[in-house]
Amino acid sequence: MTLCKKGTIWAGVLVYVVLLVPAYSQSMFHTLGWISSSSSVEQTFRYPQLTESIYSSNRHQLIWLQPHDRQVFEDIIEMVVLAEVSPFFEQRLQKLHALRSSEQYYQYDLVATDLMLAFLSYRELLRENKNTWLYGQGLPDDWGDPPPNIVGEFETSVQSSSLTEFLMTLGPNSQSYRDYQSAIDKMQLAINDELALYSPDALIRVGDLIPQKEVLFARLQLAGLTTPLSVKEKDWYGKDLRSIIKRFQTQHGLNADGVIGPKTVEWLNFPIEDRIHRLALNAERSRLWPMQRSALVVVNLPSFDLNYYFRGEVAFSSRVIVGKQKRKTPMLEIKMDSLVLNPTWNVPPKIMREDIIPILRYNPGYLSERGIQVIKGWADPVVIDHGAIQWNRVNAKTFPFRMRQLSGSYNALGAYKFNTPNRRAIFLHDTPAKYLFDKQSRAFSSGCIRVQHADKFAYTLAKTQGFRKNNISPVGQQANARIPLKRRLPVHLIYKTSWVESGRIYFRDDIYGYDTRPKSPSLAIKR
């Protein structure tokens, strides 16, 4: 990757020092002769004692002797730097570059080992902070020590001369991670190019003259779309170029109509630096995403889509509707345990207070129109006569009752509910508002996930779970007819705003603002 000065080779240095009385303090590396008395490099260590311990266990030998190992490690750190989750990693990577350029090999080795410990700590603690660190909040000043078992794996790889293999497990073994690296490498080649913005004055359709041809073709190239010479030679917008524009639109989650309009222009002009940042950030997020595809449902919130994998293949896919900005769908790892046919809907108190009660103040008949009952409570579902309630005098915040919508054509959950028990009460379901699936951006719900082809999803689940199809039809079924799955199905709700597929780079809008770079100065590591 560009930030790393590839190809730098220095002679392998191997030092054996036998100490009668080892000095396990900050003076140990001075005693070894690795650091001069005027050097302050030890003061920058996050884990000075652990670093000393590792070299002691390795009989005071240098660790980063192989150029390939150094390069792989620097590339791994650079990915974190480009993701911009903490200035600490950028500071340390710059230090490594400076030490390498000045041929201070011993100090390079020590800084690299201490940085490895910091990275291992970050990597292992990432799952505990999976919804914060890589989603706009960044890392704290001090994120703790690396777990002893992971440090042990690192030490074992060093002592068994298998450091290369260990490094590969930190990211490069993943094809997805390598695809992100490759895409970033290509974009970094163009980062210093002075590329003008593409700014047509009007919509561009087939038959129109193409303004700023060269700028358009260069910006398509950034998305991995090469324009043939035969197309470049034309001054007007032809069908061949429209096919390329449609692919560009598909890669950016736009309506693939082939018309170069405002949203297409906006994505054409999306800055290279932001593209690189988004790719690196999602490469780091990919550490959190499931790898198995034997039986798994993945909902990617920014792309508004669902994929059900079974035995390594996509068995079902569909558009979905996710939570609006003020009621975001959370990132979750949950399990589906059953299908519910003709479900009733226990209206969440927040929706009752903020949405329904304000409507009732000017339309008291709304509850009857929508088949919604007022009940005493979830544990005591005695129906209250809502017609006797003076809604214009109700304080929504102190309203003591609950609401429940009966199954039927108006029910917000439609005919199918895919039950995924969790404390956030987030689940997948059908919807009567099918027209919303035609929208390009589909963040309309109050947090739960609406599935476009819920009936087909149910039938696919039935087939892969070994049910008979007539068992999962809502026709003739009573309300809340529950069909337990034979095997609970993992469901992952993820936030992926860029990925690489078959060499093409895909981007999606950052619908919840999680790609925003951390702004807090407290993220800086002061040592």
Q: What is the pLDDT of residues 386-404, one digit of tens each?
A: 999 999 999 999 999 999 9
What mean pLDDT comes out for the span 458-475?
87
Marked catalytic residue, from 68, 277, 448, 453 = 448
In this predicted structure, what is the pLDDT of residue 508?
98
CB burial of 125-152 (b: ≥16 within 10 Å; e: otherwise) equals bbeeeeeebbbbbbbeeebebbeeeebe
* Res. 139: pLDDT tops 70: yes
DSSP code per residue over 438-479? GSSS-EEESSSEEETTHHHHHHHHHHHHT--GGGG--TTPPT
Tokens standing for residue 433: 């508002």
Tokens (6 digits) for 111: 């800084």
Closest among 457, 449, 455 to 425, alpha carbons compared:
449
Amino acid 27: pLDDT:
56
Whether the model pTM is above 0.75: yes
The pLDDT tens digits of the residues spanning 361-380 come to: 999 999 999 999 999 999 99
Q: Which of 252, 277, 429, 453 is catalytic?
A: 429
Which residues partner with 190 through β-bridges? none
Q: Which position has the token pair 């690192």?
A: 154
**Tens digit of each residue's pLDDT (9 = 90 or more) over 304-332:** 999 999 999 999 999 999 999 999 999 99
> Is 467's pLDDT higher than 90?
no
Residue 526's pLDDT band (boundaries 50, 70, 90)?
very low
**How many helices and strands (H and E) does the chain possess?**
17, 15
Q: What token pair was written down for 285?
A: 């997020």
For range 76-80, the mean pLDDT: 98
Q: What is the DSSP string of 32-57?
A: HTSS-TT--GGGG-SSHHHHHHHHHH
How much helix, strand and coil, in percent to the nearest 5, is found in the chain?
A: 40, 15, 45
Q: How confident is the model at residue 518 (pLDDT cuts 50, 70, 90)?
A: confident
pLDDT at 4 over 80: no
Reply yes or no on domain 292-344+407-501 having CATH 2.40.440.10.
Answer: yes
- Candidate from 11-25, 297-311, 484-498 with smallest mean pLDDT: 11-25
Rounded to whole angstroms, what are the CA distances from 353 to 325, 350, 390, 504? 18, 5, 15, 46
Confidence of residue 470 (pLDDT cuts 50, 70, 90): low
- Give dist(CA 225, CA 503) in Å, integer: 10
Q: Span 192-275: which CATH code? A: 1.10.101.10
The helix (run of H) or strand (run of E) holding residue 405 is strand 402-405
Q: Determine the Cα–Cα distance for residues 64 and 110; give it in Å rounded to an integer.
A: 9
DSSP, collapsed to helix, strand or coil, labels residue 302 as: coil
Residue 219 corresponds to which tokens in the numbers above? 């910006």
Give residue limits of the domains in the chain. 28-173, 192-275, 292-344+407-501
Using a pLDDT cut of 90, give the percent of the chain over it. 84
- Residue 45 reports pLDDT greater than 60: yes
Is 453 considered catalytic here? no
The pLDDT tens digits for 405-435 are 999 999 999 999 999 999 999 999 999 999 9
The structure tokens 């919509």 sit at: 203
Query: Rounded to whole angstroms, how far apart are CA atoms 344 and 469?
Result: 22
Q: Is 68 a catalytic residue?
A: no
More confident residue, 28 or 373: 373
For residues 175-193, give the mean pLDDT.
92
